[in-house]
Amino acid sequence: MAVTDAGRLRKNRGAAPLQTLLWRWPWVRPALLLTPPLAWFVLVYLTSLVLLLITAFWTIDTFTTQIVQVWNLDNFRIILTEPAYRLIIGRTVGIAALVTVTDGLLAFPFAYYMAKVASRRTQTILFAAVLLPLWASYLARVYAWILILNHSGILNWSLQSIGLPPANIGYTNTAMWLVFSYIWLPFMIIPTYAALERVPDSLLEAAADLGARRWRAVLDIVVPLAIPGVVAGSIFTFSLTLGDYITPILVGGAGSTFIGNVVYIGAFEAL
């Protein structure tokens, strides 16, 4: 057939050398895809981290504030032996862990309801409710908590109006725990929800069919399958709390210094 032949000829003539190359060496395509992000990652991110690590083995001349490039382990010795530093590290890690557990416990039932119980419509509304606070500034949200937890804030006002003694938790570690748990909760809910969404409903039906009550089915089937999402969420909440230095300044008290605050102050000294 003439038409087909003409078409075939045209197709052959149009074959680009690049297409042939990509076809013959299948690794070229992923290599092209990965080179830009990898270059960025290695050059900018990893290099700066490595440089930072190297400077940790040097010292600063306290008079001139110049870096003295002499290899030593003084910085590490100070961190590990100075009681103040050990207290701060312990506090930071402890609160970060507490915040992670709190968020995990709050997020799971919420995410479960979103993924498995709620209708499509409710699901969308809840999703918006989770994401909407992220549009507001971090500072604004923390300040809002100051207004709540203040000595004359909404919390105490409410307690007093129903005849209870005031809870003076403003500017304490408890306040930090509350604020951190609130701020990072969406970062726990979203990955947990994503993991729960992927658990087919038929697995729950199968568990019920085999004699498991609802809670048993959730514990045996849903929780293990949701663990990757919970772990991802935990990494977010834990590391975000670990590196934060603004919330401790704003809602923490005298004994609420975090690692981040020490680094911040140290960096200013160095400048």
Partner 1 sequence: MAVKSKEAKPEAAGGQSPHPAALRLHGVRKNYGHVVGVDGVDLTVDEGEFFTLLGPSGSGKTTLLRLIAGFERPDAGRIELGGRDVTSMPPHLRETNTVFQDYALFPHMTVGENIGYGLRVKGVPAAERRERVERAVRMVRLVGLDKRRPNQLSGGQRQRVALARAVVNEPEVLLLDEPLGALDLKLRQEMQLELKRIQKQVGITFIYVTHDQEEALTMSDRVAVMANGRIEQIGPPLELYERPATEFVAGFIGISNLLTRDGIKFVVRPEKLHILLEEDSPEPGMTVEPGVVEQVIYVGQSTRFNVRLDQGEPLVAVRQNTEAADEALQIGGRRIRLAWAPEHTYVLDQQQEPDAKPASVENTKEK
Q: Which residues contact 13 (CB under 8 A, 6 or more apart)?
A: none
Q: How far is the CB of 104 from partner 1 (least distance, A)?
A: 19
Helix (H, G, I), strand (E, B), or coil: what is residue 60?
A: strand
Query: Of 45-53, 71-79, 92-100, 216-224, which segment contacts partner 1 by CB under 8 A?
Result: 216-224
User: Which residue lies nearer to partner 1 by CB, 74 or 205?
Assistant: 205
Q: What gap in Å lies between CA 77 and CA 184, rounded to an integer?
A: 33
Stretch that binds partner 1, among 35-43, 113-121, 209-217, 238-246 (CB under 8 A): 209-217
How many residues lie near partner 1 (CB under 8 A)? 17
Tell which one of 76, 209, 265, 266 touches partner 1 (CB under 8 A).
Answer: 209
219 near partner 1 (CB under 8 A): no
Q: CA 52, CA 73: separation in Å to the nearest integer?
A: 14
Q: Which helix (H) or strand (E) segment is 67 a member of?
A: strand 67-68
Contact call for residue 212 and partner 1 (CB under 8 A): yes
User: Which one of 220, 246, 249, 262 is in contact with partner 1 (CB under 8 A)?
Assistant: 220
Closest CB to partner 1 among residues 208, 242: 208
Identified binder of partner 1 from the candidate list 23, 105, 213, 270, rule CB under 8 A: 213
CB closer to partner 1 out of 86 and 216: 216
First to last CA, the chain: 80
Q: How many helices (H) does the chain have, and how many strands (E)?
A: 15, 2
**The three-state (H, E, C) secondary structure of 120-180, written as one string:** HHHHHHHHHHHHHHHHCCHHHHHHHHHHHHCCCCHHHHHHHHCCCCCCCCCCCHHHHHHHH
CA distances from residue 107 to 79, 137, 232 in whole angstroms, order as listed? 35, 22, 13
Closer to partner 1 by Cβ: residue 83 or 211: 211
Binding to partner 1 in span 189-208, by CB under 8 A: 200, 202-203, 205-208
Q: Please identify, among the stretches 72-80, 102-110, 173-181, 213-221, the one whose residues bind partner 1 according to the rule CB under 8 A.
A: 213-221
Q: Is 215 in the site for partner 1 (CB under 8 A)?
A: no
Which of 225, 235, 240, 242 is the binder for partner 1 (CB under 8 A)? 225
The amino acid that residue 40 corresponds to is W
CB-wise, 112 or 182, nearer to partner 1?
112
Question: At a CB cut-off of 8 Å and minimum separation 6, what does 97 contact?
Answer: 238
Q: Which residues bind partner 1 (CB under 8 A)?
A: 200, 202-203, 205-213, 216, 220-221, 224-225
